[in-house]
Structure 1
Amino acid sequence: MSRLTDLIARAKAKDSALGDELEREFKALASRRAFGLNFERHRPESVELPGRPVRRGDKVRILPPRGAVERGDQRLWRVTRIAGKDKAKVAHVALIDADPPETAEVSVADLVVVAEFRDFIYPGLVSTRKVERGGDKPFHTVINGENFHVLEALTYTHRGKIDVIYIDPPYNTGARDWKYNNDYVEAEDLYRHSKWLAFIERRLMVSRNLLNPTASTLIITIDEKEYLRLGLLLEQVFPDASIQMVSSVINPKGSARAGRFSRVDEYIFFVFVGAAAVTPWRSDMLREIEGETRKVRWAGLMRNGEGSRRQRIPSMFFPIYIDEKTGRYHSTGEPPPADVRPEDVPAPPGTLAIWPIDQSGQELMWRLSPPSLREYLAIGHAKFGKRDKKTGLRSVSYLQTGIRQMLEGGEVVAVGKDSEGALELEFADSLGTRNPTTIWNLVAHSASEHGAGMLKSLVPGRRFPYPKSVYAVEDCLRFVVGKKKDATILDFFAGSGTTAHAVMRLNRQDGGQRQCISVTNNEVAADEQAALRKAGLRPGDPDWEKCGICDYITKPRIAAAITGTTPEGKDIEGDYKFTDEFPMSEGFEENAEFFTLTYETPVAVSHNLAFRRIAPLLWMRAGAEGRRIEELPPAGWEVADTYGLLVDLDRATAFCDAVAAAAGLRIAYIVTDDDRRFQAVARALPGSVEPVRLYESYLSNFRFVMGR
């Protein structure tokens, strides 16, 4: 060991970078365990950044000619200078670590910037679209970018703030399902497993900084290819956590394999950090519920008896209209004059009228007035029964005051909604007594029906391999954030966007304001790349990028789920099922914004030249709610809904007064290089407002190498 230490010291004296690299590898080898998971960490991953402007000092690759389908030159070059203008720009590049030195002159258009994961990054975000239907609710965010770099960006906005991380990483099947260092990892790769572990470990190490240390959960799905190694890796990365593995049936038909058992399940690891725990639910996820729970009684809306005649209170005699074909609620009419017969009241076209008339023909009255009934229907406190086969009419029932008080007090619990928005209720003492088992076998979790099938309804004609059932993800999340209505959930292998979709369903069921951060790159499927290259396209070209996962699947799927319409503008066909049943065309009352990750320079940041791209990070750190400050304020300061920004410290008094007068402010960003002036302003702020120094807090967050 001492001999190796001496040799490393000599190497450092000649080449400090090489010496540091050797020392890092030596420490990694020296720290290996005699028992446990040992694997090669390999060289740091690299990622190409198409569309990122080429600057002097950048690492780049030279792209193959347009129309070529063969793999390009994978060597890394350093840009030493750039000459020319616009399309005629030429870069002078030198091959990195070449002996003897090799240089070349290449058109800037034929270069792509490369970031290695040992390099520092200074991230920003550019907004590409918004969907707003949720009023003042916080925004779900979708970020198009390399997930390792986005995780690093989130260490500035969400360090220690994430309640749940749910990920469905590549399963390492050997079927070209993921890349490492710009190469697809094939089944024949001798280092396939260690590459996968290195790939996952780096991301888990950064994720550990994002999880709330008080109580949070990491959820990872996996199949038989890597579950053993992943289990050991989780033990090593989260030594103080409690870890359980669930087997979940996702393909009841089975995946036939010659000479082997037909596979129907996959595995889900739950990593419980701090005080995180599973909340019991009405199902144990394995068996049908035995016996019946106590039923919550819905009262008939129509009065009966002698004191219920129309003449007694004429204003309670009015029609309720339903669709003639579907039987769904249409509208509530107004009481007609006392001398007008029901059959003389015209109904809206295509509807049937339900009147409070009993089987003997007596004109009675409803228990609610028209305005009250409309309110009850809107919040799910009134509902309709089955249609009469002869008349097509339906009975109407409602929740009486006693049940509504029990619902408010928690004795009765809403466990979902039916397809027309009526609450599904159960008594609390019949719920929460069933702990979920470690084997899940629910029809709702079938990936083919409720993953691929649902995606086909949301974004018709667009294919994505193996999407999860939205109900399976929903159930995973319900067990850990069912009682935390303001939870923040992160998915950095977002794929088709199922996790965000599941979060929105949970919010609808209990009025929650949970928000989801979805991260995915815009990788084009392997089998499509050759055709695009043959057509003369490259990554970064608009016609290439529109075929990528994020732009083609993730963003459109989440937008469709919220709006209730497909990307073509048509109403989504079909209904949601199980816990909460309603037409998909209703959408969700939620907000979402879509971003693309950018790479900034520290000089541009510190000189206020990158503010527009840093602005979304400041907004996300303050909760991703309300208005965002997009530009440097001309007045020297500005206050938004959840945060304020002070640029001119000579205006600090006015800024502090505005912050003190604003309700709900969480953060005050103060732009200064002078720590004493920053501290002076911080002391003048209300104690409930967190002072953050720009751009020192941002730059220092990314100055050290994380997770490498």
Structure 2
Amino acid sequence: MSVINDLINKIQDSDLKNRIQEEIDKLSKQKKFGLVFEEHMPECTPLFDVPVHVGSKVAIKDKKINAIYIVKDIVENTAICLDKSTQETVELPLKDLVTIAEFGEAIYPYLKPIDSVCNVPDSNLWHTLIEADNYHALQLLEYLYAEKVDCIYIDPPYNSGARDWKYNNDYVDSSDSYRHSKWLSMMDKRLRLAKKLLNSSDSVLIVTIDEKEYLHLGCLLEELFPSSRIQMVTSVINVRSVAREGEFGRVNEYIFFVFLGKSSPNALELSSEWLVQQDNKKTVRGKMHWTSLSRTDSTGFRKNSPGCFYPIYVSTEDNKIHSIGSSIALDVNKESVNETPQNTIPVWPMRKNGSEGRWQITPENANKLLEQGFLKCGPIKNNRAAIYYVKSGDRNRTLSGEYGNFIKTDNGIVFDDCDNTNTSIRFIPGNSWNISSHDAGVNGSNLLIKILQQRHFSFPKSLYAVRDTLNFFVANKPEALVLDFFAGERVIKVMGAVNVMKPRVSGTLNKYILCIA
């Protein structure tokens, strides 16, 4: 329909144009069954290193590719071109053109080494990073790894309308009436190639997605993998929830697993946090968890919640919380607060880069938690101390006795027996995951900031969420070959933090191939 609409807009006769548009509108309202999406103008790849010459297929630089031209002649700095769609002859400045290749046309890719990544000294891991259009990278990989890949993990654009991906050199946003169709067209072509790479007898395809496209993606996977078993898992990635205007806040995303051949998740030694008790359907965390009181996500700044910017006074004599200060107005400098009790230091919610952050809770709630024993401080270092608190769910479980016997001390709750241990059990979990280490803010954004302090990634994944997802399929395959052809920040986290992953992946020596555009 998108191509038809483009052609209708080129009709000069207004009466004819309106009559055809009316008939097309009637056709478009007819009920359709199954997954239906447009092919659209084929995806085009700009070839910036290929010079423009007579016979070249070209498009205009720095614009969305909605017109393709064939160069018929070049006169000095002007190209005489034929519009492929209208067959009209136009003259275009040579400097404004770029050679392109349409989808399906032969492109002969090659690998050009541009840098290297060194592993830790005691590691036998090896990874390959390919920087290219991922469709052409997949074409290249088919020559080398057809039916040899054990696991494909991808985190494609979620198509949320946030202009986080392009189609034919133009960002696709919420105003694009064909954005779902374009997304399906883009995914369909790449998944068909991915299928050729997977080992048909024993491999898995893993795709993460949110609610914007999970229905379409599920239908597409059913269509492309009719003989495979498909399951969807719900995974909590942000317990604080991401606000959505006019909607419920988002706390989770979905993970599709496509099991090829005999592939199935392996039972692993998992903490009791993964265990779901069948009698009351509640998640057992295994032990009370202390969490940093400092808010570190993208909203964790003083300006976002001035009422949560206040000092917590820590005693220099016994290294315990002495008292809670009052919040100060946004226009008041913290240096002007001079009410520090004797033999204490004030701890403010300052971020590591020196900017003013905020605490998770108000001073009133902090006082309540301090009285209950659910607020404590770490040791004083360089005139600073970390402050920790216990979230409401764990507080309720602690008070109910679920975590065992406890006593309240001057520096927080302490368990007086040995029952408060995070024991490991070998099992396959259910299809609803709520694991604290999967928090995308704590183990996604914050982890990346530690590695690349000057870079910001909008939608990072928790390193441990990726690790755990893969582990169910590759932990027992030391030579497993893993492919990610929508890699972004995971290039940094997987390749740049190998020493973080290695001791936590059951000793596996998996090989990763990551493709970024």
**TM-score higher than 0.5 here?**
yes
Measure how far apart 1:142 and its partner are. 1.1
CA spacing shift, 1:192–1:133, aligned 2, 3 Å: closer
Give 3-state SS (helix, strand or coil) of 2:457's partner. coil
Q: Deviations over 1:156-202 (max 9, x none)?
A: 11111111111111111112111112221121222221111111111
Q: Give me the identity figure in percent.
A: 42
TM-score (norm 2): 0.60
Contact map agreement 1:507 1:514 (CA 8 A) in 2? no
In the other structure, the counterpart of 2:67 is 75
1:437 alignment partner in structure 2 = 430
Structure-to-structure mapping, 1:633-672, within 5 angstroms: none
Assess, with a 3 A threshold, how the Cα gap between structure 1 residues 72 and 276 changes in structure 2: closer, same or farther.
closer
Query: Per-residue displacement from partner, 1:617-673 (whole Å, max 9, x unpaired)?
Result: xxxxxxxxxxxxxxxxxxxxxxxxxxxxxxxxxxxxxxxxxxxxxxxxxxxxxxxxx
Partner of 2:113: 127
Pick closer, same or farther for the CA change 1:140–1:81 going to 2, 3 Å.
Answer: farther
Deviation at 1:214, TM superposition (A): 1.3
Question: 2:44 maps to which residue?
Answer: 46
**For 1:231-288, what per-residue CA distance to the aligned partner results, in whole angstroms no more than 9, with x for missing partners?**
1111111111111111111011012235533221111111111111101122373533
Asked if 2 retains the 8 angstrom alpha-carbon contact of 1:486 and 1:514, the reply is: yes
Alignment partner for residue 263 of structure 2, among 276, 279, 288? 276
Whether contact under 8 Å (1:485, 1:507) holds in the other structure is no
Contact preservation (8 Å) 1:503, 1:516: no
Change in Cα spacing, 1:259 to 1:54, as seen in structure 2 (3 Å) is: closer
The residue number in structure 1 matching 2:350 is none
Distance 1:503 1:266, change over 3 A: farther
Q: Deviations 1:124-152 (Å, cap 9, x if unpaired)?
A: 12111012346794631111111111111
**Residues of 2 paired with 1:493 and 1:75: CA distance?**
27
Which amino acid is the alignment partner of residue 516 of structure 1?
Answer: Y
Gaps of 5+ in 2: 1-30, 276-282, 288-378, 380-422
Q: CA deviation at 1:211?
A: 0.5
The residue matched to 2:208 in structure 1 has which SS?
strand
* Equivalence map 1:168-567=2 (5 Å): 168-283=155-270, 285=274, 287-288=283-284, 433-496=426-489, 497=491, 498-500=493-495, 505-509=500-504, 510-521=506-517
Tell me the SS of whatever aligns to 2:115. Answer: strand
Query: How many angstroms apart in 2 are the aligned matches of 1:42 and 1:73?
Result: 12
Contact 1:474 1:505 in 2 (8 A): no
Q: Match of 1:125, SS?
A: coil
Which one has a larger percent helix, Structure 1 or Structure 2? 1
Between 1 and 2, higher relative CO (CA 8 Å, sep ≥ 6) is seen in 1
State the Cα RMSD in Å.
2.8
Take 1:240 and 1:73, find their aligned partners in 2: how far apart are those partners? Answer: 37
Amino acid at match of 1:488: L
Distance in 2 (CA, whole Å) between partners of 1:73 and 1:467 is 29
Secondary structure of 2:426's aligned partner: coil
Check conservation: 1:473, 1:502, Cα contact below 8 A.
no
Q: Is the 8 A contact 1:60 1:76 kept in 2?
A: yes
Aligned partner of residue 457 in structure 1, secondary structure: helix
**Aligned partners of 2:67 and 2:248: how far apart in 1?**
45
Q: 1:258 to 1:190 in 2, by over 3 A?
A: closer
Please, what TM-score do these two structures have when normalized by structure 1? 0.45
Instruction: Give the Cα–Cα distance (whole angstroms) in 2 for the partners of residues 215 and 441 of structure 1.
Output: 28
Measure how far apart 1:77 and its partner are: 1.9
Q: Which secondary structure does the structure 2 equivalent of 1:467 belong to?
A: coil
Match of 1:155 in 2: 142
CA contact (8 A) 1:503 1:514 kept: no
Deviation at 1:104? 3.2
Contact 1:481-1:487 at 8 Å conserved across structures: yes
Counterpart for residue 60 of structure 1? 58
- Number of aligned residue pairs: give it: 340
- Distance in 2 separating the partners of 1:141 and 1:93: 43
For residues 91 and 140 of structure 1, do their structure 2 counterparts lie closer, same or farther at Cα, with a shift above 3 Å needed? farther
1:164 matched residue in structure 2: 151
